[in-house]
Every structure is written in structure tokens, then in C-alpha cells.
């Protein structure tokens, strides 16, 4: 169900500090001044969604805004709460999924239905500082194609159990993408809608939506900016499962980089196999008496050739797809 959209114009907010990654991006064009859609995916967020909608409705962005909540088949009172909020907030529109389809699926629905070419996403659990959205929009107007609210502020409440995996995945992603990534999967972002639509076919329906679009943007040299933000304790129970989702994120990081920059994955593997091959070769030639080229050395050489061949073919296919 899609409720009608409505808009309001409010005074402008201040410009914030930022860091910039990759190329210059689009030309400064004040795109967000034409209107902004704020997409909020909501699944079993009866405790948090009311406060988020209230704070978003009160933002002074100096732009026409649409608040678009995608209710993703909740089993609690989230849908009922949203129906009540529709009566109180004219800027609010709601789309309902009949069944739970996932965080990424909810975001893709929001981007497809957004009335504006600039889209902001935030979570329904009250963890992100909505009052920083104006700073993200300033960076979009300056030419950035995606602006990430990086959780590096003075008050960041990320559960300790999630921090080691988050740090490891961030370092791995930064290495593979060949760009620093201060926050790989922050849920507060501003986009030029065209960026997400361009990569929609590879964006997953689950929590790894933000990870995928980050890697896709960086490996294809889109301009990505970062603005440091705080991160509050969430209301309600987190839907992240640390072990399962960490393994999924790891698989996804490698898969996404393979898609756009395969040699960044295959070269380290080839280096590792090459070191094993040289070690085995030296053992066969200088330690074995008499010197004898063993089967394991031959197998490692074949494996090295295969890894390099597959990597070069993958890179050739990726380059050809850009022509």
C-alpha cells in the first residue's frame, strides 16, 4: 500500500566537516534543493519508528522532503503504529510488504518509489543522528554521489561483540577496494538515486545492501564522501547475528570485488600459492637426496598457473564489459 506523498520547505542547515574519497564525482548542482526522499526500512520496530518519524518531520533542511517508510512485513505492532503516524504527519508515506523480504529489499523498494533524485536512508531504531542529514545533503549538492555517515564520532555505541569483526571486515574491504573505508555498512547515507539504480541488479535483499553499494561505488571510482557521526544505543533487539552475518559480509566483500576488480583478489592468492611452490621446489632441489621434483611441487605449479589464468580471464571479462 502506498500512501500519497506530501512535502514542506524549511530553512537551510549548516555545512559539516567531511572527508573525500576517490574522484571528483558529479559537478556541483544543488540537486537536493529540488527535493529529498528519506527512506526508512522498518521491520519489527514498534518501539523506535514513532520517534524517528517525529524527528525527521521536524528537520529544518531547507528542501521539500518526503518521508517514505517501507514496512517490511513486521509481526509486531509496527504496521499499526505507522497507520497512526500517517494521521499525524502529512510528510509521511508508507509502503507495506506483505511478508518480510529483508533490509536490502525494503531499501530497493524505497529507491524505486522515491519521488526525488536525492535519497537519504536511515534506520527505524533511533540509533542514527537525523540532525546530521543536512550535512550529508550539502556534500551531495557539492557533487558527491554517495555520502556516508561514518560512525567515528565522540559517542559511538557499537556492541563490543561486533567490533572485532567490523574492524577486520573494514580493513579487508579497504584493501580490496584500494580506498580507505571509515564505515563499511553505516545505515545513514545520502545518495544520488541514479547510483543505486545503476547497480540495483547486484544489490542483495539482506543487510549487506550497504556493504555492496559501498564497494560497487569505490571500485568503479564514484565519488564517496564521509561525515563523522555519533551512534546511539538502539531501541529494541538487534536483528544482526554476529557469526552468521560476519561470514556473509566476508563472502560478499570478496564476491563484490571479484565482480569489479578481480585481480585484487586473485593476485594475493597467486602470491600465496607461488610462495608454497617455491618453498616446495627448493626443498626438492636442495634438501632431497637425490634431488627430485616431487608431485606436490608439480601440483603447486599447476595450481599457480590456474589461479593466474582464471584471474587474468576474469579481469579481461570485467574490462570488456566496460566497453
Domain of 186, in residue numbers: 19-260
pLDDT tens per residue across span 104-119 = 999 999 999 999 999 9
pLDDT tens per residue across span 182-192 = 999 899 999 99
36-42 and 118-121 as β-strands: parallel, antiparallel, unpaired? parallel
Verify that 250 and 268 share a domain, yes or no: no
Verify that 180 and 314 share a domain, yes or no: no
Verify that 48 and 81 share a domain, yes or no: yes
**What is the number of domains present in the chain?**
2
Taking residue 317's Cβ as centre, other Cβ atoms within 10 Å add up to: 10
Higher pLDDT among residues 141 and 257, named by residue: 141
Q: Which three cell numbers stand for residue 196?
A: 543505486
Q: Is residue 1 part of a domain?
A: no
Closest by Cα among 297, 272, 302 to 283: 297
Q: Is residue 2 part of a domain?
A: no
Verify that 84 and 233 share a domain, yes or no: yes
Rounded CA-CA distance 319/219 in Å is: 13
- Give strand pairing partners of 150: 228
Verify that 313 and 175 share a domain, yes or no: no
Verify that 81 and 214 share a domain, yes or no: yes
User: What integer best gives the mean pLDDT of the chain?
Assistant: 85
Q: What is the pTM of this model?
A: 0.76
Percent of the chain with pLDDT over 90: 59
Rounded CA-CA distance 46/42 in Å is: 9
Last residue of a domain, one of 234, 260, 286: 260
Verify that 253 and 283 share a domain, yes or no: no
Verify that 53 and 28 share a domain, yes or no: yes
Verify that 249 and 277 share a domain, yes or no: no
Confidence of residue 287 (pLDDT cuts 50, 70, 90): confident
Q: What is the CATH number of the domain that holds 52?
A: 3.90.550.10
Q: Is 261 exposed, middle or buried (0-12, 13-18, 19+ CB in 10 A)?
A: buried
Amino acid at each position: 500500500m502506498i500512501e500519497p506523498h506530501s512535502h514542506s520547505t524549511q530553512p537551510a542547515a549548516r555545512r559539516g566537516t567531511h572527508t573525500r574519497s576517490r574522484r571528483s564525482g558529479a559537478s556541483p548542482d544543488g540537486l537536493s534543493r529540488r527535493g529529498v526522499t528519506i527512506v526508512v526500512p522498518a521491520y519489527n520496530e514498534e518501539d523506535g519508528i514513532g520517534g524517528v518519524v517525529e524527528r525527521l518531520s521536524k528537520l529544518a533542511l531547507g528542501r521539500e522532503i518526503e518521508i517514505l517508510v517501507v514496512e517490511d512485513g513486521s509481526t509486531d505492532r509496527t504496521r499499526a503504529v505507522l497507520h497512526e503516524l500517517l494521521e499525524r504527519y502529512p510528510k509521511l508515506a508508507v509502503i507495506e510488504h506483505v511478508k518480510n523480504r529483508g533490509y536490502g529489499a525494503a531499501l530497493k523498494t524505497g529507491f524505486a518509489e522515491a519521488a526525488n533524485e536525492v535519497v537519504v536512508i536511515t534506520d527505524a531504531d533511533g540509533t542514527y543522528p537525523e540532525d546530521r542529514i543536512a550535512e550529508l545533503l550539502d556534500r551531495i549538492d557539492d557533487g558527491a554521489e554517495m555520502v556516508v555517515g561514518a560512525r567515528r564520532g565522540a559517542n559511538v555505541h557499537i556492541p563490543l561483540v561486533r567490533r572485532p569483526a567490523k574492524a577486520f571486515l573494514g580493513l579487508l574491504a579497504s584493501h580490496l577496494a584500494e580506498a580507505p573505508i571509515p564505515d563499511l555498512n553505516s545505515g545513514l547515507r545520502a545518495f544520488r538515486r541514479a547510483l543505486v539504480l545503476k547497480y540495483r541488479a547486484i544489490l542483495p535483499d539482506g543487510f549487506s545492501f550497504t556493504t555492496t553499494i559501498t564497494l560497487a561505488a569505490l571500485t568503479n571510482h564514484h565519488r564517496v564522501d564521509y561525515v563523522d557521526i555519533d551512534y546511539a544505543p538502539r531501541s529494541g533487539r538487534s536483528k544482526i547475528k554476529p557469526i552468521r552475518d560476519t561470514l556473509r559480509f566476508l563472502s560478499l566483500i570478496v564476491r563484490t570485488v571479484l565482480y569489479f576488480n578481480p585481480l585484487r583478489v586473485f593476485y594475493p592468492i597467486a602470491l600465496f600459492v607461488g610462495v608454497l611452490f617455491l618453498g616446495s621446489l627448493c626443498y626438492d632441489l636442495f634438501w632431497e637426496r637425490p634431488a627430485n621434483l616431487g608431485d606436490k611441487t608439480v601440483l603447486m605449479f599447476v595450481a599457480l598457473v590456474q589461479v593466474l589464468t582464471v584471474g587474468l580471464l576474469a579481469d579481461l571479462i570485467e574490462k570488456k564489459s566496460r566497453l
